[in-house]
């Protein structure tokens, strides 16, 4: 079993997530793309754990999952609050600090 | 490796789907596909604990949270196509592709070691191996994680909490308001009519018929009316005409049949019917 295909798949998924964050306007979908990037990095961590024959990479992936869960909870609460006040989930509408 | 070559194209296609689908619900479902495939890859990479956690935490908890928020945010969740910064989309695509190309080229020039073997570390079980690492080498990070989770839970509660600004409307207040509205605007004080139950349609999107044969807009949900999925009055009138023709009843011209019914004066109606 080679290591390269897993790492390259991880890079491709990270790139797709990255482009999604830049291109999409809906705050929810932007958030999903952030999750995609986190998952891609997790795949790289787990792959390296197996490549290096120790479990440290899996522990790191576990911590990434915990942080992702916390981030999603707070982020979705913020999106809900913005939607409640502005009736919109578009990231372009939340530009109040600009003016 | 077979699992990888089957799942990798599926994952890339589903991830690309997240970029291109218009509805947030579809994006969430495609993300679920990516995450389930990732879980299988974790199992291939000898990480059974992360396999379970990926399914339970990501597809079970996080994506359900996403779906709930999509449901709360509702119909408005579609993406706007207006560009606020000129050419931002094109530039984002160009830089994204350049980034991806750079990563793939750079990674393909590095020679990685072949896959090792986790049999020694997993000898006493994968969960036990992870636990012995978590509670010895990474115990400080683990404690900080606990603090982070508590902070996140508190933050979500504070952000999602809404203070009640007006006193709660009791039954007596509601009755008084209804009678006042009846006196002022003539709005019917009783309950709204139920949706129609007819020989051909008995779903909630079918409006009830008024005595003059026109459809009562008050009998179907306002959400259905806004989304434009309720059966409209004229369509129902056409149905009635057809039934009457089949039964051989002489149809008299009914001027009220294709008029919109007045009287739906509920406040807070979003108005625009798409």
The ranges assigned to domains in chain B are 1-75, 193-256
* Of the candidates A39, A72, A59, the residue with the CA atom closest to the CA atom of residue B49: A59
Tell me: pLDDT of A29 over 60: yes
Q: What is the pLDDT of residue B255?
A: 46
Going from the C-alpha of B24 to that of each of A20, A26, A82, A91, the distances in angstroms are 13, 8, 17, 14
**Chain A neighbours among B 14-43 (CB < 8 Å)?**
15-16, 18-19, 24, 27-28, 31, 34-35, 38, 41-42
B42 neighbors B59 (Cβ within 8 angstroms): no
Q: In chain A, which residues have their Cβ closer than 8 Å to the Cβ of B38? A: 39, 42-43
> Which ipTM value was assigned to this complex?
0.91
Contact A55 B130 (CB under 8 A): yes
B195-200: long-range contacts, CB 8 A cutoff, minimum separation 24: B195/B219, B195/B220, B196/B236, B199/B243, B200/B239, B200/B243
Q: How far is B237 from chain A, CA to nearest CA, in Å? A: 36
Please give the Cα distance from B207 to B198 (Å, whole number): 10
Cα Rg of chain A, angstroms = 17
Q: Which of B77, B137, B270 to mutate to test the interface with A (most CBs of A within 10 A)?
A: B77
Interchain CB contact of B235 with A (< 8 Å): no
Chain B residue with minimum CA distance to A17: B15
Q: How far is A97 from chain B (nearest CA, A)?
A: 15
Neighbouring residues of A85: CB distance < 8 A, sequence distance ≥ 6: none
Residue with tokens 């969960």, as numbered in its chain: B127
Residue B272: per-residue pLDDT: 40
For residue A30, pLDDT beyond 80: yes
Chain A closest CA to B87's CA: distance in Å? 11
- Within chain B, which residues score under 70 in pLDDT? 74-84, 229-238, 249-274
Query: B137, A58 in Cβ contact below 8 A?
Result: no
Q: Which residue of A has its CA nearest to B126?
A: A55
Contacts of residue A92 in chain B, CB cutoff 8 Å?
80, 82, 84
Q: Do A65 and B54 touch (CB under 8 A)?
A: yes
Cβ neighbours for B202, distance < 8 A, ≥ 6 positions apart:
B196
Residue of A2, A18, A28 to mutate when probing chain B, most B C-beta within 10 A:
A28
pLDDT, one tens digit per residue, over A37-69 is 999 999 999 999 999 888 999 999 999 999 999
Q: Please indicate whether, in this complex, the C-beta atoms of A49 and B148 are within 8 angstroms of each other.
A: no
> B118: Cβ–Cβ under 8 A, 6 or more apart, which residues?
A49, A50, A53, A54, A55, B46, B126
Residue B140, pLDDT score: 95
Q: What is the pLDDT of residue A39?
A: 94
Angle (CA) B95 B101 B105, round 5°:
150
Task: Write down the architecture of domain B1-75 according to CATH.
Answer: Up-down Bundle (1.20)
The answer to whether the CB of A51 falls within 8 A of the CB of B116 is: yes
3-state secondary structure of A90: strand
Residue with tokens 């089949």: B246
Q: What is the predicted pLDDT for the residue at B271?
A: 39
Query: What pLDDT, on a 0 to 100 scale, did the predictor assign at position B98?
Result: 94
Helix axes A56-86 and B126-134, enclosed angle (nearest 10): 80
* Chain B residues whose beta carbon lies within 8 Å of the beta carbon of residue A37: none
Written as six digits, the tokens of B106 are 């750079």
> What is the DSSP code string of B121-134?
TTTT-HHHHHHHHH
CA distance B252 to A86: 50
Place of tokens 């929810």: A28
C-alpha A49 chain-centroid distance: 20
For B153, the token pair is: 């839970």
Q: Is the pTM of this model over 0.90?
A: no
Q: Radius of gyration over alpha carbons of chain B, in Å?
A: 30
Q: What is the pLDDT of residues B51-85, one digit of tens each?
A: 999 999 989 999 999 999 888 886 554 555 566 67
Structure tokens at B69: 């928020």
């Amino acid at each position: 079993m080679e290591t390269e295909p897993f790492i390259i798949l991880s890079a491709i998924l990270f790139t797709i997530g990255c482009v999604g964050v830049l291109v999409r306007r809906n705050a929810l979908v932007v958030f999903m793309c952030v999750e995609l990037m986190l998952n891609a990095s997790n795949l790289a961590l787990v792959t390296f754990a197996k490549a290096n024959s120790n479990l440290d990479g899996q522990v790191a992936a576990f911590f990434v999952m915990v942080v992702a869960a916390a981030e999603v909870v707070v982020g979705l609460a913020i999106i809900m609050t913005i939607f409640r006040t502005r009736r919109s989930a578009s990231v372009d509408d939340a530009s109040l600090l600009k003016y | 490796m077979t699992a990888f070559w089957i799942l990798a194209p599926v994952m890339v296609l589903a991830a690309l789907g997240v970029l291109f689908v218009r509805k947030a619900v579809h994006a969430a479902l495609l993300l679920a596909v990516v995450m389930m495939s990732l879980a299988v890859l974790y199992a291939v990479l000898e990480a059974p604990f992360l396999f379970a956690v990926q399914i339970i935490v990501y597809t079970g908890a996080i994506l359900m949270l996403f779906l709930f928020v999509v449901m709360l945010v509702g119909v408005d969740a579609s993406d706007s196509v207006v560009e606020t910064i000129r050419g931002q989309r094109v530039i984002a695509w160009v830089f994204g592709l350049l980034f991806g190309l750079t990563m793939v080229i750079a990674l393909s020039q590095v020679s990685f070691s072949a896959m090792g073997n986790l049999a020694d570390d997993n000898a006493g079980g994968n969960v036990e191996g992870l636990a012995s690492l978590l509670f010895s080498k990474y115990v400080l990070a683990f404690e900080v994680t606990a603090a982070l989770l508590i902070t996140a839970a508190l933050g979500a509660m504070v952000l999602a909490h809404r203070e009640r600004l007006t006193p709660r409307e009791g039954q007596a207040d509601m009755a008084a308001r209804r009678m006042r509205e009846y006196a002022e605007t003539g709005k019917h004080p009783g309950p709204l009519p139920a949706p129609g139950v007819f020989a051909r349609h008995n779903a909630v999107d079918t409006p009830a018929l008024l005595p003059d044969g026109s459809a009562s807009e008050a009998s179907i949900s306002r959400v259905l009316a806004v989304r434009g999925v309720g059966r409209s009055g004229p369509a129902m009138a056409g149905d009635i005409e057809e039934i009457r023709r089949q039964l051989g009843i002489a149809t008299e011209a009914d001027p009220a049949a294709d008029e919109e019914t007045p009287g739906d004066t509920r406040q807070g109606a979003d108005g625009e019917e798409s």
